[in-house]
Chains A and B, each alone.
Chain A
Amino acid sequence: MGANVTIIDSGGANIASLVYALERLGAATTLAADPDEIRAAERVILPGVGAARDAMQRLGNAGLCDVVRELTQPVLGVCLGMQLLADASEEDDATCLGIVPGTATRLPASPDLPVPNMGWCPLRSTRESALLEGIDNGTWCYFVHSYALPVSEHTVGVARHDKDFAAVIEYRNFAATQFHPERSSTAGATILANFLRWTPCA
């Protein structure tokens, strides 16, 4: 579909599968850690695997915290990238970017509710959403996480662990998924395609 996507190279390890998924949709991808390149991007994806504090440190060291905060083009946070957009995370008491209100909290673990929450979970849409257009209620997506953001007014889709948590958020030009769209089969491809054509109303 000819979209250009710049993926913030924050040193995480899930970048390859994201690149492949976007390429399957015909998008051109660039990895970037350079502030000017990211500011000039058509669309930006903030990925993330690992711990919140480390990831924030890497963004800080690359001088990218304010760059991300000030982006006005469509931005998609994926997995930890979603939590980085929030105020904070309980994980090592990390301060995050503070773009979307909320603090990521640890999922409770037991033999019947294992953590990490790793596997396929059904999504439930909570309001009209650009990202979830064409996605039926109850569609399964692939999650891998130990922390999650609580449901808020910016949540457009939820999934359930011990209780509902925010699975998809949309706020201004920032959208994010707690699951991995690049590993969520045809549903994930639809969600990524929706992001590639998303024109957020500022």
Chain B
Amino acid sequence: MRDGRVVKGVRFRDHRDVGDILELAARYCREGADELVFYDITASPDGRSVDRGWVSRVAALLDIPFCVAGGIRDVAAAEEVLNKGADKISVNSPALENPGLIDALASRFGSQCVVVGIDSHAGDSGWQVYRNTGDPTKTRMAERATLDWVREAQDRGAGEFVLNCMNRDGVREGYDCEQLAAVRDACTVPLIASGGAGSMEHFADVFRESRVDGALAASVFHSAAIDIGALKRFLAQAGITVRPPPGHEEK
């Protein structure tokens, strides 16, 4: 999200406008999404926080959980978002700059509210964490190995990880199942796969091969290339247990 609209980029660059927040949120909820994540990508690089007026409107509309990410740098900012009705907050760059933020958030709100988002890049020196990925001019390597950061963040109280595999973001060639499986083995909190979904098979692959608890996607849903209801029926047929879309409960 940027300035109240939903945008989507390719490999974190060239963000295009894809629609109004509430409209899109209602559509995904109706189609059977299990959870929505709202990223304010402009927040961290500019050193400012999200404009949070929309959080209350989303909370009033949705009857599924949602998470807010972007520029949450302290307990007070997290409290504001949670009080407006968000179920979780996700921290990324601010947690890398100040890992104690994770401890502070977990002790105040409980680990279940504290998602740690990780932008991980597969390069010559293995899986490395990047920060400030919302702005290409400010993105930099955080000098941490991804698996080390996962272990540290869990010890500090992270209640969930969203692992975004940067090499795969927006390019629709499939999730990085190998990296996700390694992170799965390194933690005992829920793990959500992000980055790379292009086909329904990609979702089935990541659930099977990486044993993730959820799969996050943006491009394929925003463009309507994949319908959430159809995806869930496909996964159920592939033997992966999913919540049926509302109104399509099968006994």
Contact = CB atoms under 8 A, between A and B. Distances in A.
A182 B59 CA distance: 10
Contacts of B83: 13, 15-16
Nearest to A137: B251
Nearest to A116: B112
A140 B110 contact: no
Contacts of B62: 183
B174 interface: no
Interface residues of B, number: 39
B143 interface: no
Interface stretch (A33-41, A106-114, A170-178): A106-114
B112 A49 contact: yes
Contacts of A50: 109-110
A58 interface: no
Nearest to A19: B85
Nearest to B211: A112
B63 A120 contact: no
B3 interface: no
Contact of B112 (A21, A144, A182): A144
Given A17-B59, A24-B63, A142-B65, A114 B213 contact: yes
B56 A109 contact: no
A23 B63 CA distance: 12
Contacts of B188: 109-111, 114-115
B205 interface: no
Interface stretch (B15-23, B95-103, B116-124, B242-250): B242-250
Nearest to B56: A16
B113 interface: yes
Interface of B: 29, 34-35, 56, 59-60, 62-65, 79, 82-85, 87, 109-113, 159-160, 184-185, 187-191, 211, 213-214, 243-244, 246-247, 249, 251
10 contacts: A14-B82, A20-B60, A24-B63, A50-B109, A109-B189, A110-B188, A142-B65, A146-B111, A183-B65, A184-B64
